[in-house]
Structure 1
Amino acid sequence: MKTHRTVIAASLAAAFFVPPAWAADDIQSVVVTAQSRKQLVQDVPMTMQVVTAKDIASIGAKDLADLNGYIPGLTVDATEPTQPSFGIRGVNAGDFGIATDSPVGIYVDGVYTGKTGGALMNFIDVQRIEVVKGPQGTLFGRNSAAGAISIATNEPGKELDANAHVKLGKFGRANADVMLNFPITDTLATRLVVVRSGSEGWVDNTYTGKKSGGDKDWATRLSVRKDFDAAKLVFAWEHENMEQYGRPAFGVIKNPALPLGGYRGVYDAAYTANFVNPFDAPLANDEPGTEGRMFDGTTLRFEAPLAGMTFNSTTAYRRFQTHNLTDNDGGARADLHLTTQDAKHARSFQQEFKLSGKTDQLDWIAGLSFYHNNEHQDAGAYITTGTIDTLSQFAGGDPNFAMLFGGLAAAGLPGISPNTQYTWDETHYSDVRTKSASIYGDTIWHLTPTTNATVGLRYTRDDKSMRWYVPGRVSPQLDDFLNRFGPLAGVNAATFPSNVVFSTAAQLASSPVSREKNWTDWSPRLVLDHKLDKNTLLFTSLSRGYQAGGFNIFTPPNPASATNAGKDPSFEPEKMTNFEVGTKMVLPALNATVNASLFAYKFKNLQDIQLYSVGTIPTYNVISSDQKAHGLDVDGRIRLSPRVTLFGGFEYIDQTYTRYQRLDASGNVTLDLGGQPVGTPRLTAMGGVNVNWEMADGRASVNFQGTHATGTRCNSDKAALSCLSTAKLQTGTAKSKFDLRVGWDSPTARYGVAVIVNNVFDQRYIESLGGQTEQYGAPYAYLTPPRAIGVEFRASM
């Protein structure tokens, strides 16, 4: 077994990126802080999974999205990394607005990252990742109703250390990183890490002649640690700059007579028979798009003994700017053209004070937490006059612009025809200010030497203020044309509406409109655990999590609305109540560990924003639902010999809606999914093998691992596109993926080489089919990437 220092030196180079903790030989000795205390993972009465730097390296992961499938029950959608979505045990939200929060909290060194631009970052000097399932309202606070992901980074050490790593691979993959740990004095040390990653992309955009599906970013982290006898002070600064093309969108409608010639508002067999297989069709996005992020963050952590207790302070400041310009029609047709822009900038400040102590009977913590966040969002919809004509015809109207242009051409106006296109840009501006404060306590009572009872409680108050502003369209060329030549046909620029996509919002917020609201919550947890023997832990828990309330950024308040949601676009907090019973076992005779837990939960007021039509034009609307689920989590590993370790895990879940209703503009129910499946696959599983042996005076290793998820569970809403099966394509199918790492390390582990193959068997799937043009019969698909092969080289002191 290598020492901890050697493991970190050898694996940090993978961009902190081998067998997973799920495969590590010494998993029972991993120390975690999920309960705000340092404990061995096998002693923590919670369902959790730990990922180490070595694990990350085994699949060449650069961020949380690359771990998809390897933590059963955790899903990360990073199709657009500035708008990620996280889910645990089937609970996630697809909302990208700034006025809502995520039910899964992401924390880096105890600092909440939010849900948008700062949530999905490159792995930089990561020591471990703790994925805690179930409500964590007491320990982690707001916005961890479904669970929490806690990322711990390495602190500066007292020994001089350095390493470097390079990865080259298919599709122009070129990653590199370097780490330097430098002790300045016996009590002062600094640590610098620089990471760069990038690829050209895995598909050719035939419209632009450029690659798509690539990534490009670089990041750095500088940290300083100062020791004062028993106290320590750690300062860290992080920076990341990402700039890449937008994600590829594959249109499945290639017949120019469609959708107008065949779509009637229903995806029936006759219409879906026209879909082409996106794997067989070339990518042709007329808007290649760009996605970028500029992020800076500072964190100051202080720890010191205080009158027999321990005092901790964490102070953090974060700011970022993001932009995401994307093709949202999946093709290059002017009559369907839709490009969207999502731009955000945010500043947040966090402060937490924590006091903890231990006695023979008690192990307790108490704390205060404050969070302030100011965020601005520009949501742009960029269409053409051809798109407007298409929408008009779907609503039973005429192609007004084509008729106007054709009539003027017939009257002798040169340079104009029915096919002439002018741009039409609309932007929806939103501002949100959030203030949150909480006080909490959590105590472990040692009832007997083998039995503990834990009681925790957190009180939270959230204040949010929201501002909407939707000015008129920006279409200078069109307006100039209409004002100059429109009078020949009896029209001018003012004849046409100021907005089409954001028409309702523009009528309500042509000048800024604001609202404020606050919410409070008590989040408790009760845990009972018992050591049956030194190798077997039994536990049961009852807990509740809380996600702050918010606003629908696309729906300003409308006092004349027929629905309460229209009059008041705020919505109540989301809450999950979860019951769990489980066990953690170490089996020395088999060199094995096994962990299992049964769970059941009820989730109330899950908020999701979806695009659908409540009138003639599709708009974004908040869907509030209640859900329930029960299931089983199991993970384990067995060391067959000093050279061979098997590992695996799975989650089974049965998740259904107890309440889900979609309303039209008059408040009438148009869709009711109560009692139907949410869509979460019943089973997600992972497994693999790690083999190592001596070779060429060093050590060779092979890590082969894979993931599997059963198909999407269909309901009456998803059946149309998410569970589609035609002669040409299938969606919602079961998915599998396998990864391989073959490596060799020198005798001292100071240098090494490895080959990593992601998606070994080149298994490809339609990740999703729909998009914003789904509403008028022209959906597009996102596809999983093909097999990728890379070679890694590393060296360390």
Structure 2
Amino acid sequence: MTIRSFIFAGVALAALAAPAAAEEAADAADAAFADDGAIVVTARRRAENVQDVPLAISVVDGATLDAKGVFNISRLTQLQPSLQFFSTNPRNTFINIRGIGAPFGLTNDGFEQGVGVYVDQVYYNRIASATLDFVDVEQIEVLRGPQGTLYGKNTTAGAINITTRAPSFEFEGRTEVSIGNFNFKQAKASVSGPITDKLAARISVSATDRRGTIYNVATDTWINSQDNIGIRGALLWKPTDTFRVTFSGDWNLQDPICCGQIYARLGTTQRVASRQYAALTALFPGYKVPSTNAFDRLTDLDADIAARNELGGLSIRAEWDVGPGSLTSVSAWRYWDWGPKNDRDFTGLPVYTKVNNPTKQDQWTQELRYAFETGPIDAVVGGFLFYQKIRTSGVQESGPAASAWLLNPSSALSRNPAVLNGVIAENDIRLDNLSLATFAKLNWKATDRLTVSPGIRLNYDKKDGSYDSVVTGNASDGTRQIVSNSPTAPYYNDPWIAAQRGLQASQYFEPNFSAWNLSFDLNLSYEISDDVLGYATYARSFKTGGINLNGVPNLANGLPALEVAQIKPEKVDHFELGLKSQFWDRRATLNLAAYWTEIRDFQASVISNISGSSTLRGYLANADKVRVRGVEADFSVRPSERINAYLSGAFTDHQFVKFVDAPCPPELAGGPSGTPIGAPSTPGANSPANCDVSGQWLPGISRWSFSWGAEGNLPATLLGKQGEVYLGYEASYRSTFSSNASRSIYTDIRGYSLHNFRFGFRDEALDIFGWVRNAFDQNYYESLAVTPGNTGLISAQLGDPRTFGGTISYRF
């Protein structure tokens, strides 16, 4: 029996063994509410009522996550209109808040994202290491807007603060089992209690398994499945009332048959007609894509695909009440082991047989801070150390279809499969990343109602990297040779090697980056009444600079263009006004926020031809300026214990204010260089090297997004148990957004809405319910992407179809 099967079986038995009797009925939804309706958060590194915090914060408690089937960050987006999540696999994952946080469409070890993810106060530097299923989560806070003073350098867009359930000195536990269509199975269990009167423990496990939603006719398998397991354990040692230490450890494994992007549509580019998709596939008699309708959910990807994502770590958090405050130390080590296999030609043809970049990461963090209160002042001061080591050993290998697919049909070499067959690039990518910081945040209660809150953070970053790609291929005499850009290299003029060099050539360089940066903010908050708080914030924040570790363009002499190896830090100016209010005896809450964010040196994807080099190469660079501004509203109402409802919405206006050397969309790319520039979507027309996208949309952002829902319940008796029957409904909507680094007529994703329903019975211990998600079976794209070579093929990542099932959980 596998570990996963053991967990499923054990949790199922525990759930079925739930006692037949329960005591008084209680509403599980009340868990997040104190008697006065308060929700407690730690957004400012201390516990306080969310309505007293002058920040835009969305809070979801563990009971809500479980009830609504939100078991990872991806599903959290359906509850948070300002949160966007895009993923083609765990490593190629991007999280944005208010539309910013990560460049779209290019993964690079040498840069970092602008949304900080924290689990139990431990920073997760790589988003891929945060795609795990939630295990025993107590609460999730989404902090919108720059959080650089307390949360660090890479929180220019915001932070996601996840808190798991702490060990308890009273024995307690919980089990949950879910089953559904597509062979969905999920099991969760946790148990906590005292070991001695000073030591308590908690252990939690979670396992999720689901068949894929796309059928691969080439391999007779269902792909894009789910196959996750997670284990978390914690010990709480409390020798005195003023000192406590929490030891935590976790291990998580995702090992699905994933992740394949499939045929979505064709778009005409400026490549000559003989080098576009229709003409290229015609070179292979009998080849036909299984379906040109993506929502038939068929593909014929012929290369192996996998997305093994293993991660885990250990942490020690010590808290000591000293003097007028509390001293906190958080020490942590985390690792991430990424083992992918990809089909990067997105067809059933052996163009590329391998495109795999396995990565191993270790990170160490140490935070020390002191929070204190004296008179009208409370403050947090501290320091932070971060070190990260990343090692990526990649391979890319072309197959027997590569010559016809990738070389100019006018060349006789394109008709010889041996020319590009077996060209292999072996990549060794290394990064050592050091960051040091000191910070302070002060809250001065100037009057009974007015609080002035300045903050400052000084940060030092140093990155040392290396990129070593060794490309080999067969020369025309059959010998194995290095494919080099150097004119003095052996076989440089061999026609086969020259053709291979146009595909990819060996490259080596050692980029580095170091810089000091200062972040600061000023927040003014005023209690208009006991239940109404107004606030204003200005923040100057930054996202650290980086280095390009996916290769860079070459100069005319064949050497790498080191002038583009560095990426400058983003510089952020942020203004925000907000109002937080409760009324109707605190049964209703309405929070509003309006913001204006400008980013200079925005880190973005570009494609450039440097100094006459014949090779176009994608890399990261800095756009001059972007702007994102908008208005958000969060409303919730609970007129009685029998009904509650919520509505959240966001309007986001976004644009590249100035970006003159952006990558061109596919309809303006692929043709020869020269003037005049041809009309879009004209085969063989001249293409610009870069495009000016100033004034255009940023990728991935909807102008309008909403989430809403309600739940009602009535007293009921089931099998002699007194409880309540309930009906829940949740929905979300987002308007049209661009899914390409530069907006294209082929990659806009139309707006869509998703609707989920729940119906069940619960008492204070037992909860049994059925659920349906995407109830109206909405066909929608999560992302659309331009495939390599600009052949006109657009690939898609599909959202889940309708899913349904049932869940039983028991608390004791």
TM-score (norm 2): 0.84
- Select the residue among 683, 691, 695 that pairs with 2:704: 683
Instruction: List alignment gaps of at least 5 residues for structure 1.
Output: 1-8, 268-273, 406-419, 485-490, 724-731
How far apart in 2 are the matches of 1:331 and 1:751? 49
Structure 2 residue aligned with 1:170: 181
How has the CA–CA distance of structure 1 residues 617 and 332 changed in structure 2, closer, same or farther, with 3 Å as cutoff? farther
Written as runs of structure 1 = structure 2, the 5 A alignment for 1:714-753 is 717-723=742-748, 732-746=749-763, 749-753=764-768
Query: Which residue among 653, 666, 691 is the counterpart of 1:671?
Result: 691
Aligned mate of 2:255, from 232, 237, 243: 243
Q: Is the 8 A contact 2:590 2:636 kept in 1?
A: yes
Distance 1:305 1:716, change over 3 A: closer
Secondary structure of the equivalent of 1:524? strand
Q: Residue 700 in 1 paired to residue 700 in 2? A: no
C-alpha distance after superposition, 1:567-589 (max 9, x if no partner)? 24101111221100111001034
SS state at 2:540 partner = strand
The 3 A distance-change label for structure 1 pair 579 and 214 is same
* Secondary structure in 1 matching 2:403: helix
Quick one: percent identity of the two aligned structures?
21
Distance 1:19 1:777 in 2: 52
**Residue type of the partner of 1:157?**
S
User: Which moves more between the two structures, 558-567 or 75-84?
Assistant: 558-567
Contact kept in structure 2, 1:756 and 1:789, CA below 8 Å: yes
Asked if the contact 1:329–1:780 (Cα under 8 Å) also holds between the matched residues in 2, the reply is no
Partner of 2:534: 538
Give the alignment partner of residue 619 of structure 1, picking from 596, 617, 620: 617
SS in 1 for 2:153: coil
| TM-superposition CA deviations, 1:506-553 (whole Å, max 9, x none) | 2x41xxx32322011110010000111101001001012221111111
Q: 2:196 is matched by which residue type in structure 1?
A: T
Q: 1:757 to 1:446 in 2, by over 3 A?
A: same
Q: Return the letter of the residue paired with 1:624.
A: N
Using the alignment, how far apart are the partners of 1:783 and 1:404 within structure 2?
33
Residues 65-111 of structure 1, C-alpha deviations (whole Å, 9 max, x = no match): 01123111111123312332100111132332111000111111111
Task: Go from structure 1 to structure 2 and tell me whether the alpha carbon gap of 1:769 and 1:590 turns closer, same or farther (over 3 Å shift).
Answer: same
Q: What amino acid is the match of 2:155?
A: S
Contact 1:232 1:304 in 2 (8 A): yes
* 1:382-461 to 2 correspondences below 5 Å: 382-393=397-408, 397-400=410-413, 402-403=415-416, 422-461=421-460
Are 1:496 and 2:507 an aligned pair?
no
Q: Structure 1's 288 and 58: CA in aligned 2 closer, same or farther, altered over 3 A?
A: farther
Structure 2 match to 1:361 = 376
Corresponding letter in the other structure for 1:400: L
Give distance in 2, aligned partners of 1:524 and 1:492.
54
Where 1:101 maps in the other structure, the secondary structure is: coil
CA contact (8 A) 2:708 2:730 kept: yes
Provide the C-alpha distance between the structure 2 equivalents of 1:592 and 1:649, rounded to a whole number of angstroms: 13
**Deviation (angstroms), 1:44:** 0.2
Contact 2:198 2:237 in 1 (8 A): yes
Residue in 1 aligned with 2:512? 516
Q: 1:633 aligns to what? A: 632
Q: State the one-letter code of the partner of 1:709.
A: R
Pair 1:558–1:300, CA change in 2 (3 A)? same
* Distance change in 2, residues 1:623/1:321 (3 Å): same
Distance in 2 (CA, whole Å) between partners of 1:281 and 1:714 is 20
Residue 728 (structure 1) aligns with: none
Change over 3 Å in CA distance of 1:715–1:777 after alignment to 2: closer
For the residue of structure 2 that corresponds to 1:139, the secondary structure is helix
Larger mean CA deviation between 379-388 and 40-49 belongs to 379-388
Per the TM alignment, residue 20 of structure 1 is displaced from its structure 2 partner at its CA by 8.3
User: Do residues 31 (structure 1) and 29 (structure 2) align?
Assistant: no
Contact kept? 1:329, 1:778, Cα under 8 Å = no
After superposition, the Cα gap between the structure-2 partners of 1:785 and 1:26, relative to the gap in structure 1 and judged at 3 Å, is farther
Q: CA deviation at 1:702?
A: 1.7
Greater shift, 608-617 or 375-384, is seen at 608-617
Please say if residues 84 and 115 of structure 1, whose CA atoms lie closer than 8 Å, have aligned partners that are also in contact.
Answer: no
Among 306, 310, 314, the alignment partner of 2:326 is 310
Question: 1:504 deviation in Å?
Answer: 6.2
Question: Matches of 1:567 and 1:333 in 2, distance apart?
Answer: 37
For 2:98 and 2:41, how far apart are their aligned partners in 1? 21
> Is the CA contact (8 Å cut-off) linking 2:264 and 2:796 kept in structure 1?
yes
- In structure 2, relative to structure 1, the CA distance for the partners of 1:116 and 1:50 (3 Å cut) is closer
Of 356, 370, 376, 1:341 maps to: 356
Deviations 1:709-753 (CA, angstroms, capped at 9, x unpaired): 111269994233213xxxxxxxx211111111222113xx22221
How far 1:480 sits from its partner (Å)?
A: 11
- Alpha-carbon distance in 2 for matches of 1:794, 1:593: 30
The amino acid across from 2:518 in the alignment is: W
2:777 — aligned with what?
762
Compute the displacement of 1:254 (Å): 9.2
Q: 2:493 and 2:298 mapped to 1: Cα distance?
A: 38
Q: 2:792 matched to which residue of 1?
A: 777
Residue 661 of structure 1 and its aligned partner are, at CA, apart by: 2.9
Matched residue type, 2:470 = P
SS in 1 for 2:327: strand
Distance 1:168 1:304, change over 3 A: same
Residue 159, structure 1, aligned to residue 175, structure 2? no
1:58 to 67, 71, 74: 67
Q: Is the 8 A contact 1:19 1:58 kept in 2?
A: no
Check 1:479–1:393 CA distance in 2 against 1; reply closer, same or farther (3 A cut). closer
> Counterpart of 1:6?
none
Of 243, 247, 253, the match for 1:231:
243
Q: Distance in 1 between matches of 2:690 and 2:194?
A: 65
Judged with a 3 Å threshold, the aligned counterparts in structure 2 of structure 1 residues 340 and 562 are, in CA distance, closer, same or farther, namely closer
Instruction: Name which of structure 1's ranges 50-59 and 611-620 shifts more when overlaid on structure 2.
Output: 611-620
Distance in structure 2 (CA, Å) of the matches to 1:62 and 1:714: 25
Secondary structure of 1:567's aligned partner? helix
Question: Could you tell me how far apart the structure 2 residues matched to 1:160 and 1:266 are?
Answer: 65
Q: Which amino acid aligns with 1:93?
A: P
Q: What CA distance in whole angstroms lies between the structure 2 residues aligned with 1:21 and 1:545?
A: 37
Secondary structure of 1:609 counterpart: strand
The one-letter amino acid paired with 2:496 is F
Structure 1 pair 124–498 and aligned structure 2 pair: CA distance change class (3 A): farther
Whether 2:155 is the aligned partner of 1:144: answer: yes
Q: 1:214 aligns with which of 213, 216, 225?
A: 225
In structure 1, C-alpha distance between the alignment counterparts of 2:202 and 2:739, rounded to whole Å? 50
Quick check: 672-681 or 452-461, which moved more? 672-681
Q: Which stretches in structure 2 are left out of the alignment for 5+ residues?
A: 1-10, 16-26, 280-288, 481-490, 664-672, 675-686
Deviation string 1:320-376 (CA, Å, 9 cap, x unpaired) is 210221222322023x44642121101111001101110121011100100000101
Q: Distance in 2 between matches of 1:37 and 1:536?
A: 21
For the 8 Å contact 1:656–1:677, the answer to whether it is kept is yes
Give deviations 1:127-171, integer Å, cap 9, x for gaps. 111111111110101110111111111110101112211111111
Question: Equivalents in 1 of 2:148, 2:296: separation in Å?
Answer: 47
Residue 227 of structure 1 and its aligned partner are, at CA, apart by 0.4
Q: CA RMSD in A?
A: 3.4
CA distance in 1 between partners of 2:157 and 2:560 (Å) = 27
Q: CA contact under 8 A between 1:22 and 1:636: conserved in structure 2?
A: no
After alignment, is 770-779 or 224-233 more displaced?
770-779
**Residue 332 of structure 1 pairs with residue 345 of structure 2:** no
Give the residue type in structure 2 aligned to 1:742: F
Residue pair 1:595, 1:636 contacting (<8 A) in 2 also: yes
Q: Provide the secondary structure at the position in 1 that maps to 2:298.
A: coil
Whether the 8 Å CA contact 1:23–1:647 is kept in 2: the answer is no
Query: How far is the alpha carbon of 1:260 from its aligned partner?
Result: 7.3
* Structure 2 residue aligned with 1:276: 292
* Aligned residue pairs, count: 735
